[in-house]
């Protein structure tokens, strides 16, 4: 289709925004993260289960795309049979579908984990992608706060297993019932106030970013941002605003981390709301369980401004924030939370018609990787490549292929140079592949029944040396030496061992 003679007709190779290609180094880092998270989840007794990336749209939520806006946030398409399908936007809704569909055969409470890509059709940004990886664990069939407490502790363990030191992250806990109680207390209950409640919750959620002034503006008439754009507020009166701010700013860590009394102070904002009281009681139980297991407030803390966006949360909600991500002054992007979750008692019930309590937690693998990469706290450089066997005489390809086979049979990653270049380009290729060494056999070596092994790592050091004759000479003998053909594997192993490189 593309016409080579006319460049303007040539297709432009380009990636849709919000999507990412992954380099070998990033893939290796992602794998390592997955392995570590999995080890923690399995230690807690969770078992794997995975579901497809595509579900019926109505299984993902109550929302159904219409003709005008079939892709509001979710990638959707019409199947042959006129039914709407969607790419999953999280791993929780599909799990609810799976549990509901296999309810009778699963042990209850059902504990399972899964990792995979999810898709959101939203505006991308730093740490925000349209395809990204999540790693979830869920407990379905337990309404006990112990299940929620376990999620928080496991979240902390998982984050630490990823090499993020204690003090550099925090698991923040809140409860939707408390928030509902606060709203009830300022007279925002009932169907008529549904829209206003959402606006208030969104405002509360922004407290750590916008601060008191910004949230007060959003709760009242509205707020103008730094670009001059105006956001309409919730239209609360002064007394209501004071009440909400009082709740957000209640001292949740006051007096040496006395969580009991701190949570009591949240209670002032919920008045007589029974829902609110329930929420406070649940939080107190979670706090007690977590403390009994010796997780201090440096790991698991309580934060009245945590809301979480997803509408399906019904009780406890958690969020994991990196505490070192906001420390650079000007141009540092905000990455947001790197994990979250909570209690979603209504999600499975939607399919079953009977109450099925559930709670879960999700690590945002892609965002966490992006954040760590941005902070320079993770290695995403490509690892060492394979040993490269170079080609001198094209007539003797079979010989070279045999050398490669001998190395592979010994469990050493090796490849034959398959390009068309002469010798120098082959060296350059091996350099780019990060090959630890190359194997060379030209006519000289062949005549003597030898092969030359060149250590590219020592060779690189050699090039940097300026003085030190002794060291230079020693390196030179290491850098390149000829050995009998029969000792090829042995000599290559020596090179790998010298640099501590695993053969495969």
Partner RNA sequence: GCAGCUGUAGCUCAGUUGGUUAGAGCGCCUGACUGUGGAUCAGGAGGUCGGUGGUUCGAGUCCACCCAGCUGUACCA
Binding marks (x or -) toward RNA, 263..302, rule CB under 7 A?
Answer: ----------------------------------------
- Residue count, binding to RNA (CB under 7 A): 65
Residue from the set 142, 174, 199, 243 that interacts with RNA by CB under 7 A = 199
Per-residue mark of binding to RNA, 55-94 (x: CB under 7 A): -----xxxx--------xxx-----------x--x-----
Of the two residues 126 and 257, which places its CB atom closer to RNA in the complex?
126
Task: Pick from 106, 161, 210, 483 the residue near RNA by CB under 7 A.
Answer: 210
Query: Which listed residue (25, 116, 126, 346) binds RNA by CB under 7 A?
Result: 126
- Interface with RNA (CB under 7 A), residue from 17, 69, 394, 469: 17
Tally Cβ neighbours within 10 Å of residue 170: 20
Q: Which is nearer to RNA, 260 or 311 (CB)?
A: 311
Can the peptide bond before residue 300 be classed as cis, meaning omega within 30 degrees of 0? no
Cβ(345)–Cβ(138) below 8 Å: no
**Taking CB under 7 A as the rule, does residue 424 contact RNA?**
yes
> Between 302 and 341, how does the x/- string for binding to RNA read (CB under 7 A)?
-------xxxx--------------------xx-------
Q: Which of 226, 327, 354, 466 lies at the binding interface for RNA (CB under 7 A)? A: 226
- Quick check: 395 binds RNA (CB under 7 A)? no
Question: Which of 167, 425, 468, 484: binder of RNA (CB under 7 A)?
Answer: 425
CB 96 within 8 A of CB 138: no
Which structure tokens are listed for 139? 């407990």
Q: Which stretch binds RNA (CB under 7 A): 40-48, 204-212, 292-300, 370-378?
A: 204-212
Applying CB under 7 A, does 211 fall inside the site for RNA?
A: no
In Å, how far are 207, 345, 360, 365, 416 from 318, measured between CA atoms? 16, 15, 9, 16, 52
CA–CA separation, 383 and 54 (whole Å): 34
Specify whether the CB–CB gap between 339 and 155 falls below 8 A. yes
Smallest distance, Å, CB 280 to RNA?
Answer: 24
Roughly how many angstroms between the first and final C-alpha of the chain, as a whole number?
42
Instruction: Output the six-digit token pair for 472.
Output: 């230079």
Nearer to RNA, 84 or 103 (CB): 84
In the list 101, 160, 208, 431, the residue contacting RNA (rule: CB under 7 A) is 431
120 binds RNA (CB under 7 A): yes
Q: Considering the rule CB under 7 A, would residue 20 count as an interface residue with RNA? A: no
At residue 459, φ and ψ (nearest 5 deg) are -55, -40
Residue with smaller CB distance to RNA, 54 or 281: 54
- What does the buried/exposed string (b/e) look like for 65-96 if buried means 16 or more CB atoms within 10 Å of the residue's CB? beeeebeeebbbeeeeeeebebbbbbbbbbbb
Q: Which of 228, 256, 376, 500 binds RNA (CB under 7 A)?
A: 228
Tokens of 499: 């640099």
Burial class (CB in 10 A: 0-12, 13-18, 19+), 126: middle
Q: Which of 363, 312, 462, 490 is nearest to 38 (CA)?
A: 363
Q: Which residue shows structure tokens 């010798």?
A: 423
CA distances from 347 to 92, 147, 344, 350 (A): 9, 17, 6, 5
Which of residues 295 and 417 has its CB atom nearest to RNA in the complex? 417
State yes or no: residue 213 binds RNA (CB under 7 A): no
Residue 125 DSSP label: B
Strands 437-440 and 387-389: parallel
Closest by CA position to 159, among listed 318, 303, 287, 381: 318
- Is 104 a binder of RNA (CB under 7 A)? no
Looking at 69, 123, 255, 469, which residue binds RNA (CB under 7 A)? Answer: 123
- Determine if 190 is a binding residue for RNA (CB under 7 A): no
Closest to RNA by CB, 218 vs 406, is 218
Q: Which two tokens stand for residue 39?
A: 């080890």
User: DSSP secondary structure string, 137-169?
Assistant: EEEES---HHHHHHHHHHHHHHHHHTT--TTSE
Stretch that binds RNA, among 94-102, 158-166, 223-231, 359-367 (CB under 7 A): 223-231
Which residue in 313, 14, 52, 323 sits closest to 172, CA to CA? 323
Query: Which of residues 290 and 438 has its CB atom nearest to RNA in the complex?
Result: 438
Q: Which residues within the stretch 446-485 sit at the binding site for RNA (CB under 7 A)?
A: 452, 454, 456-457, 459-463, 479-480
- Which of 330, 327, 337, 341 has its CA nearest to residue 370? 337
Is residue 209 part of the contact set for RNA (CB under 7 A)?
A: yes
Which pair of tokens denotes residue 297? Answer: 């407030």
Residue in this structure with the two tokens 């070279």, named with its chain if needed: 400
Q: Interface with RNA includes 124 (CB under 7 A)?
A: yes
If the CB atoms of residues 263 and 347 are measured against RNA, the closer one turns out to be 347
Residues lying near RNA in the complex (CB under 7 A): 7-8, 17, 60-63, 72-74, 86, 89, 120-126, 198-199, 202, 206, 209-210, 218, 223, 225-229, 231, 309-312, 333-334, 392, 421-425, 427-428, 430-431, 440, 442-445, 452, 454, 456-457, 459-463, 479-480
């Amino acid at each position: 289709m593309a016409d080579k003679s006319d460049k303007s007709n040539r297709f432009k190779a380009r990636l849709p925004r919000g999507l990412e290609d992954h380099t070998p180094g990033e893939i290796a880092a992602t794998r390592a993260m997955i392995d570590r998270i999995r080890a923690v989840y399995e230690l807690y007794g969770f078992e794997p289960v995975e579901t497809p990336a595509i579900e019926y749209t109505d299984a993902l939520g109550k929302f159904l795309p219409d003709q005008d806006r079939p892709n509001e946030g979710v990638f959707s398409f019409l199947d042959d049979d006129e039914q709407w399908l969607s790419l999953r936007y999280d791993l929780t809704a599909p799990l609810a579908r799976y549990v509901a569909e296999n309810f009778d055969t699963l042990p209850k409470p059902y504990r399972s984990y899964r990792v995979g890509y999810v898709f959101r059709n939203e505006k991308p940004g730093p740490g925000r992608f349209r395809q990204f990886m999540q790693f979830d664990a869920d407990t379905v069939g337990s309404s006990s706060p112990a299940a929620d407490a376990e999620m928080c502790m496991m979240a902390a363990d998982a984050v630490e297993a990823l090499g993020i030191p204690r003090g550099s992250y925090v698991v923040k806990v809140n409860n939707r019932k408390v928030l509902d109680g606060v709203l009830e207390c300022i007279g925002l209950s009932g169907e008529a106030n549904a829209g206003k409640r959402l606006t208030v919750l969104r405002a509360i959620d922004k407290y750590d970013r916008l601060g008191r002034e910004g949230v007060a503006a959003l709760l009242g008439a509205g707020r103008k941002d730094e670009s001059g754009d105006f956001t309409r507020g919730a239209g609360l009166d002064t007394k209501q605003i004071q009440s909400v701010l009082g709740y957000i700013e209640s001292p949740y860590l006051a007096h040496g981390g006395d969580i009991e009394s701190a949570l009591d102070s949240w209670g002032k904002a919920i008045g007589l709301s029974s829902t609110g009281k329930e929420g406070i009681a649940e939080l107190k139980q979670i706090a007690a369980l977590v403390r009994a297991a010796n997780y201090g407030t440096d790991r698991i803390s309580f934060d009245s401004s945590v809301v979480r966006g997803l509408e399906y949360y019904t009780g406890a909600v958690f969020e994991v924030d990196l505490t070192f991500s906001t420390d650079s002054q000007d141009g540092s992007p905000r990455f947001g939370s790197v994990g979250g979750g909570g209690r979603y008692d209504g999600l499975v019930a939607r399919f079953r018609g009977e109450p099925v309590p559930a709670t879960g937690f999700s690590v945002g693998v892609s965002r966490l990787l992006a954040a760590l990469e941005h902070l320079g706290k993770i290695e995403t450089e490509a690892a060492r490549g394979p040993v490269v066997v170079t080609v001198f005489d094209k007539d003797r390809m079979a010989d070279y292929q045999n050398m490669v086979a001998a190395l592979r049979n010994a469990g050493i990653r090796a490849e034959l140079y398959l390009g068309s270049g002469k010798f120098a380009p082959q060296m350059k290729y091996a350099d780019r592949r990060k090959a630890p060494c190359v194997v060379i056999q030209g006519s000289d070596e062949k005549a003597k029944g030898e092969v030359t092994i060149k250590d590219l790592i020592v060779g690189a050091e050699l090039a940097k040396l300026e003085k030190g004759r002794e060291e230079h000479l020693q390196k030179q003998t290491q850098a390149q030496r000829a050995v009998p053909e029969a000792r090829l594997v042995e000599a290559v192993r020596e090179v790998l061992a010298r640099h501590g490189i695993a053969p495969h």
